[in-house]
């Protein structure tokens, strides 16, 4: 699962465009580090932060 997909799936953003903008402007952190790559691959245990919301990725579903 990519960072952009995870943001949408978790409900932190409503659209892929919104995810793209937040990521490009450095508003998204993965495991405490600012991430600017929308296509970053996530793995189980990664923590995504947008502002004061957090979401843990517990399982990947690849279709």
Residues 6+ apart with CB under 8 A from 21: none
Interval 13-39: pLDDT, tens: 999 999 999 999 999 999 989 999 999
**Residue 47 located in a structural domain:** yes
pLDDT band (50, 70, 90) for residue 59: very low
Biggest distance spanned by C-alpha atoms of the chain: 30
**Residue 61 located in a structural domain:** no
**Residue 63 located in a structural domain:** no
Q: According to DSSP H, which parts of 1-63 are helical?
A: 3-10, 16-24
**Residue 62 located in a structural domain:** no
Count of domains observed in the chain: 1
**Residue 28 located in a structural domain:** yes
What pLDDT does 21 receive?
94
What's the domain range around 51?
A: 3-56
At 44, which CATH number?
Answer: 3.10.290.10
Please give the model's pTM, rounded to 2 decimal places: 0.81
């Amino acid at each position: 699962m990519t960072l952009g997909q995870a943001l949408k799936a978790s409900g932190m953003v409503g659209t892929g465009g919104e995810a793209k903008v937040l990521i490009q402007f450095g508003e998204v952190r993965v495991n405490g580090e600012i991430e600017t790559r929308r296509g970053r691959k996530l793995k189980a245990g990664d923590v995504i932060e947008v502002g004061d919301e957090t979401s843990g990725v517990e399982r990947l579903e690849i279709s």
